[in-house]
Structure 1
Amino acid sequence: MNLLLVNAISAVFSLVSIGIVVVALRKATEMIRLGRSMAEQIAASSDNLERALAALKAEHDDFRDESRKLDARLEESARAQRDIARSVDLMQRIRIELQGDVRAMRTSISSRNTAATAAPAPARAPEQTPSQAKPSKLPVFVRRTVASASVADNFATYS
Protein backbone atom coordinates (compact mmCIF):
# COMPACT_ATOMS: atom_id res chain seq x y z
CA MET A 1 0.00 0.00 0.00
CA ASN A 2 2.85 2.24 0.39
CA LEU A 3 3.59 2.19 -3.28
CA LEU A 4 0.00 2.98 -4.15
CA LEU A 5 0.00 5.96 -1.81
CA VAL A 6 3.28 7.24 -3.26
CA ASN A 7 1.88 6.88 -6.80
CA ALA A 8 -1.28 8.71 -5.81
CA ILE A 9 0.66 11.53 -4.18
CA SER A 10 2.96 11.63 -7.19
CA ALA A 11 -0.04 11.82 -9.53
CA VAL A 12 -1.55 14.65 -7.45
CA PHE A 13 1.73 16.54 -7.55
CA SER A 14 1.93 15.93 -11.30
CA LEU A 15 -1.60 17.29 -11.75
CA VAL A 16 -0.78 20.29 -9.56
CA SER A 17 2.43 20.93 -11.52
CA ILE A 18 0.54 20.61 -14.83
CA GLY A 19 -2.04 23.07 -13.48
CA ILE A 20 0.71 25.45 -12.45
CA VAL A 21 2.30 25.14 -15.90
CA VAL A 22 -1.08 25.82 -17.56
CA VAL A 23 -1.69 28.88 -15.35
CA ALA A 24 1.88 30.05 -16.01
CA LEU A 25 1.41 29.59 -19.77
CA ARG A 26 -1.86 31.56 -19.67
CA LYS A 27 -0.17 34.35 -17.73
CA ALA A 28 2.78 34.26 -20.16
CA THR A 29 0.36 34.51 -23.09
CA GLU A 30 -1.39 37.43 -21.43
CA MET A 31 2.00 39.06 -20.76
CA ILE A 32 2.98 38.59 -24.41
CA ARG A 33 -0.33 40.11 -25.53
CA LEU A 34 0.14 43.07 -23.15
CA GLY A 35 3.74 43.46 -24.38
CA ARG A 36 2.54 43.59 -28.00
CA SER A 37 -0.16 46.15 -27.21
CA MET A 38 2.39 48.19 -25.26
CA ALA A 39 4.81 48.03 -28.21
CA GLU A 40 2.00 49.22 -30.53
CA GLN A 41 1.17 52.09 -28.16
CA ILE A 42 4.84 53.06 -27.93
CA ALA A 43 5.10 53.00 -31.73
CA ALA A 44 1.95 55.16 -32.04
CA SER A 45 3.26 57.57 -29.38
CA SER A 46 6.63 57.90 -31.10
CA ASP A 47 4.85 58.51 -34.43
CA ASN A 48 2.72 61.20 -32.78
CA LEU A 49 5.83 62.74 -31.23
CA GLU A 50 7.55 62.81 -34.63
CA ARG A 51 4.52 64.54 -36.17
CA ALA A 52 4.43 67.03 -33.29
CA LEU A 53 8.14 67.69 -33.74
CA ALA A 54 7.66 68.28 -37.47
CA ALA A 55 4.78 70.69 -36.73
CA LEU A 56 6.90 72.55 -34.17
CA LYS A 57 9.76 72.83 -36.66
CA ALA A 58 7.36 74.22 -39.27
CA GLU A 59 6.03 76.78 -36.76
CA HIS A 60 9.57 77.68 -35.78
CA ASP A 61 10.41 78.33 -39.43
CA ASP A 62 7.23 80.40 -39.83
CA PHE A 63 8.07 82.45 -36.73
CA ARG A 64 11.62 82.97 -37.99
CA ASP A 65 10.26 84.21 -41.33
CA GLU A 66 7.78 86.49 -39.55
CA SER A 67 10.59 87.76 -37.35
CA ARG A 68 12.62 88.64 -40.44
CA LYS A 69 9.63 90.40 -41.95
CA LEU A 70 9.06 92.35 -38.74
CA ASP A 71 12.73 93.32 -38.59
CA ALA A 72 12.51 94.61 -42.15
CA ARG A 73 9.36 96.55 -41.28
CA LEU A 74 11.06 98.00 -38.20
CA GLU A 75 13.99 99.14 -40.32
CA GLU A 76 11.61 100.70 -42.82
CA SER A 77 9.69 102.40 -40.01
CA ALA A 78 12.91 103.72 -38.51
CA ARG A 79 13.96 105.04 -41.92
CA ALA A 80 10.57 106.72 -42.37
CA GLN A 81 10.81 108.18 -38.88
CA ARG A 82 14.26 109.62 -39.68
CA ASP A 83 12.88 111.10 -42.91
CA ILE A 84 9.96 112.62 -41.02
CA ALA A 85 12.33 114.06 -38.40
CA ARG A 86 14.46 115.58 -41.17
CA SER A 87 11.35 117.04 -42.80
CA VAL A 88 10.18 118.50 -39.49
CA ASP A 89 13.62 120.05 -38.95
CA LEU A 90 13.52 121.52 -42.46
CA MET A 91 10.04 122.92 -41.84
CA GLN A 92 11.26 124.45 -38.56
CA ARG A 93 14.16 126.12 -40.35
CA ILE A 94 11.82 127.40 -43.06
CA ARG A 95 9.43 128.72 -40.40
CA ILE A 96 12.27 130.52 -38.63
CA GLU A 97 13.46 132.03 -41.93
CA LEU A 98 9.91 133.09 -42.77
CA GLN A 99 9.50 134.68 -39.36
CA GLY A 100 12.73 136.61 -39.98
CA ASP A 101 11.48 137.64 -43.43
CA VAL A 102 8.11 138.72 -42.01
CA ARG A 103 9.85 140.79 -39.33
CA ALA A 104 12.05 142.37 -41.99
CA MET A 105 8.98 143.07 -44.10
CA ARG A 106 7.22 144.68 -41.16
CA THR A 107 10.20 146.85 -40.34
CA SER A 108 10.62 147.82 -43.98
CA ILE A 109 6.92 148.67 -44.26
CA SER A 110 7.03 150.71 -41.08
CA SER A 111 10.22 152.45 -42.20
CA ARG A 112 8.69 153.03 -45.63
CA ASN A 113 5.58 154.46 -44.03
CA THR A 114 7.67 156.77 -41.86
CA ALA A 115 9.80 157.71 -44.87
CA ALA A 116 6.68 158.27 -46.98
CA THR A 117 5.28 160.64 -44.42
CA ALA A 118 8.61 162.44 -44.12
CA ALA A 119 9.47 162.64 -47.83
CA PRO A 120 7.81 161.69 -51.11
CA ALA A 121 8.69 158.18 -52.30
CA PRO A 122 11.37 158.03 -55.02
CA ALA A 123 10.46 156.38 -58.29
CA ARG A 124 11.34 152.72 -58.53
CA ALA A 125 14.23 151.83 -60.80
CA PRO A 126 12.96 149.87 -63.82
CA GLU A 127 15.84 147.34 -63.76
CA GLN A 128 15.12 146.13 -60.21
CA THR A 129 12.01 143.96 -60.07
CA PRO A 130 10.88 141.53 -57.40
CA SER A 131 11.92 138.60 -59.58
CA GLN A 132 15.51 139.94 -59.72
CA ALA A 133 15.88 140.05 -55.96
CA LYS A 134 18.65 138.08 -54.28
CA PRO A 135 17.61 134.40 -54.15
CA SER A 136 16.76 132.98 -50.78
CA LYS A 137 17.26 129.53 -49.30
CA LEU A 138 13.51 129.25 -49.17
CA PRO A 139 11.52 127.10 -51.61
CA VAL A 140 10.08 128.68 -54.73
CA PHE A 141 6.52 129.00 -53.44
CA VAL A 142 7.75 130.91 -50.38
CA ARG A 143 9.90 133.28 -52.45
CA ARG A 144 6.95 134.00 -54.71
CA THR A 145 4.79 134.85 -51.74
CA VAL A 146 7.45 137.11 -50.25
CA ALA A 147 8.11 138.74 -53.62
CA SER A 148 4.43 139.38 -54.13
CA ALA A 149 4.34 141.09 -50.75
CA SER A 150 6.72 143.69 -52.21
CA VAL A 151 9.58 142.98 -49.88
CA ALA A 152 12.05 142.61 -52.72
CA ASP A 153 13.37 146.16 -52.29
CA ASN A 154 14.40 145.61 -48.68
CA PHE A 155 15.15 141.91 -48.98
CA ALA A 156 18.71 142.50 -50.23
CA THR A 157 19.56 144.70 -47.24
CA TYR A 158 18.44 142.13 -44.64
CA SER A 159 19.75 138.95 -46.30
Structure 2
Amino acid sequence: MTRTIFVLNGPNLNLLGQREPAIYGTTTLDDIRAKCISKAQGLGFEIDFRQSNFEGELVESVHQARNQACGIIINPAAYTFTSIALLDALKTFDPPKIELHISNVHAREEIYHKSLISRIATAILIGFGADGYELAVQAMAGMVRRG
Protein backbone atom coordinates (compact mmCIF):
# COMPACT_ATOMS: atom_id res chain seq x y z
CA MET A 1 0.00 0.00 0.00
CA THR A 2 1.17 3.50 -0.77
CA ARG A 3 2.24 5.72 2.12
CA THR A 4 1.65 8.95 0.19
CA ILE A 5 -0.84 11.55 1.36
CA PHE A 6 -1.98 14.08 -1.22
CA VAL A 7 -2.40 17.59 0.20
CA LEU A 8 -4.44 19.62 -2.28
CA ASN A 9 -4.96 23.37 -2.10
CA GLY A 10 -7.43 25.41 -4.08
CA PRO A 11 -7.53 28.91 -5.53
CA ASN A 12 -5.74 31.86 -3.96
CA LEU A 13 -3.96 29.75 -1.35
CA ASN A 14 -0.72 30.52 -3.19
CA LEU A 15 -1.17 34.00 -1.68
CA LEU A 16 -1.14 32.85 1.94
CA GLY A 17 0.94 35.16 4.07
CA GLN A 18 -0.08 38.13 1.90
CA ARG A 19 -3.83 37.73 1.45
CA GLU A 20 -6.02 38.85 4.34
CA PRO A 21 -3.52 38.05 7.11
CA ALA A 22 -6.11 38.96 9.76
CA ILE A 23 -8.10 35.92 8.60
CA TYR A 24 -5.46 33.55 7.23
CA GLY A 25 -2.33 34.53 9.18
CA THR A 26 1.14 35.25 7.89
CA THR A 27 2.32 31.69 7.28
CA THR A 28 3.01 31.04 3.60
CA LEU A 29 1.98 27.98 1.63
CA ASP A 30 5.68 27.07 1.31
CA ASP A 31 5.94 27.15 5.12
CA ILE A 32 2.92 24.87 5.36
CA ARG A 33 4.36 22.49 2.77
CA ALA A 34 7.61 22.17 4.74
CA LYS A 35 5.73 21.49 7.98
CA CYS A 36 3.53 18.87 6.33
CA ILE A 37 6.52 17.07 4.84
CA SER A 38 8.36 17.09 8.16
CA LYS A 39 5.33 15.86 10.09
CA ALA A 40 4.61 13.10 7.57
CA GLN A 41 8.22 11.89 7.52
CA GLY A 42 8.13 11.55 11.30
CA LEU A 43 5.05 9.36 10.93
CA GLY A 44 6.45 7.22 8.10
CA PHE A 45 4.46 8.86 5.30
CA GLU A 46 5.24 10.99 2.26
CA ILE A 47 3.44 14.12 1.07
CA ASP A 48 2.48 15.08 -2.46
CA PHE A 49 1.66 18.77 -1.94
CA ARG A 50 -0.15 20.69 -4.69
CA GLN A 51 -1.90 24.01 -5.22
CA SER A 52 -3.91 25.17 -8.19
CA ASN A 53 -6.13 28.09 -9.02
CA PHE A 54 -7.80 25.92 -11.67
CA GLU A 55 -10.67 23.59 -10.89
CA GLY A 56 -9.77 21.05 -13.58
CA GLU A 57 -6.22 20.68 -12.26
CA LEU A 58 -7.57 19.86 -8.80
CA VAL A 59 -9.95 17.32 -10.33
CA GLU A 60 -6.99 15.76 -12.18
CA SER A 61 -5.03 15.62 -8.92
CA VAL A 62 -7.87 13.69 -7.28
CA HIS A 63 -7.87 11.30 -10.23
CA GLN A 64 -4.11 10.76 -9.83
CA ALA A 65 -4.58 10.20 -6.10
CA ARG A 66 -6.84 7.24 -6.85
CA ASN A 67 -3.75 5.24 -7.86
CA GLN A 68 -1.05 6.98 -5.82
CA ALA A 69 -2.41 8.05 -2.42
CA CYS A 70 -3.56 6.49 0.81
CA GLY A 71 -5.51 9.64 1.68
CA ILE A 72 -6.33 13.17 0.60
CA ILE A 73 -6.21 16.31 2.69
CA ILE A 74 -7.94 19.07 0.74
CA ASN A 75 -8.41 22.75 1.32
CA PRO A 76 -10.66 23.45 -1.65
CA ALA A 77 -10.86 27.16 -0.77
CA ALA A 78 -13.60 28.85 -2.86
CA TYR A 79 -14.33 25.57 -4.67
CA THR A 80 -15.68 24.25 -1.36
CA PHE A 81 -18.91 26.08 -2.04
CA THR A 82 -19.14 25.91 -5.83
CA SER A 83 -17.47 22.86 -7.38
CA ILE A 84 -19.69 19.91 -8.16
CA ALA A 85 -16.87 18.68 -10.41
CA LEU A 86 -14.48 18.49 -7.43
CA LEU A 87 -17.19 16.86 -5.29
CA ASP A 88 -17.79 14.22 -7.97
CA ALA A 89 -14.05 13.54 -8.31
CA LEU A 90 -13.67 13.14 -4.55
CA LYS A 91 -16.57 10.66 -4.53
CA THR A 92 -14.42 8.36 -6.69
CA PHE A 93 -11.65 8.28 -4.06
CA ASP A 94 -12.42 5.62 -1.45
CA PRO A 95 -9.62 6.10 1.12
CA PRO A 96 -9.96 8.79 3.83
CA LYS A 97 -10.52 12.40 2.83
CA ILE A 98 -10.03 15.33 5.19
CA GLU A 99 -11.56 18.69 4.33
CA LEU A 100 -9.47 21.49 5.79
CA HIS A 101 -10.05 25.22 6.24
CA ILE A 102 -7.63 27.64 7.84
CA SER A 103 -10.33 29.96 9.15
CA ASN A 104 -13.52 29.05 10.96
CA VAL A 105 -15.81 29.32 7.96
CA HIS A 106 -18.89 29.19 10.23
CA ALA A 107 -17.82 32.40 11.95
CA ARG A 108 -17.63 34.20 8.61
CA GLU A 109 -20.21 35.42 6.12
CA GLU A 110 -23.10 33.10 5.32
CA ILE A 111 -21.77 32.36 1.83
CA TYR A 112 -19.01 30.30 3.51
CA HIS A 113 -21.35 28.14 5.59
CA LYS A 114 -22.44 25.47 3.08
CA SER A 115 -19.69 23.18 1.93
CA LEU A 116 -20.38 20.79 -0.93
CA ILE A 117 -17.28 18.81 0.05
CA SER A 118 -18.25 18.15 3.69
CA ARG A 119 -20.92 15.64 2.71
CA ILE A 120 -18.28 13.20 1.42
CA ALA A 121 -15.36 14.04 3.73
CA THR A 122 -14.26 11.45 6.24
CA ALA A 123 -13.36 14.27 8.64
CA ILE A 124 -13.20 18.06 8.70
CA LEU A 125 -10.66 20.42 10.33
CA ILE A 126 -11.78 24.04 10.53
CA GLY A 127 -10.33 27.10 12.21
CA PHE A 128 -6.93 25.89 13.44
CA GLY A 129 -5.03 28.28 11.19
CA ALA A 130 -1.98 26.97 9.38
CA ASP A 131 -1.50 24.46 12.23
CA GLY A 132 -4.54 22.62 10.90
CA TYR A 133 -2.41 21.11 8.16
CA GLU A 134 -0.10 19.35 10.61
CA LEU A 135 -3.12 18.21 12.62
CA ALA A 136 -4.63 16.83 9.42
CA VAL A 137 -1.44 14.92 8.54
CA GLN A 138 -1.41 13.41 12.05
CA ALA A 139 -5.10 12.48 11.81
CA MET A 140 -4.70 11.04 8.31
CA ALA A 141 -1.80 8.84 9.42
CA GLY A 142 -3.98 7.48 12.21
CA MET A 143 -6.92 6.82 9.89
CA VAL A 144 -4.72 5.02 7.36
CA ARG A 145 -3.12 2.85 10.05
CA ARG A 146 -6.51 1.88 11.46
CA GLY A 147 -7.64 0.98 7.94
Name the TM-score class by shorter chain.
under 0.3
* Greater relative CO, 1 or 2 (CA 8 Å, sep 6+): 2
Report the TM-score when normalising by structure 1: 0.19
Report the TM-score when normalising by structure 2: 0.20
More helix by share: 1
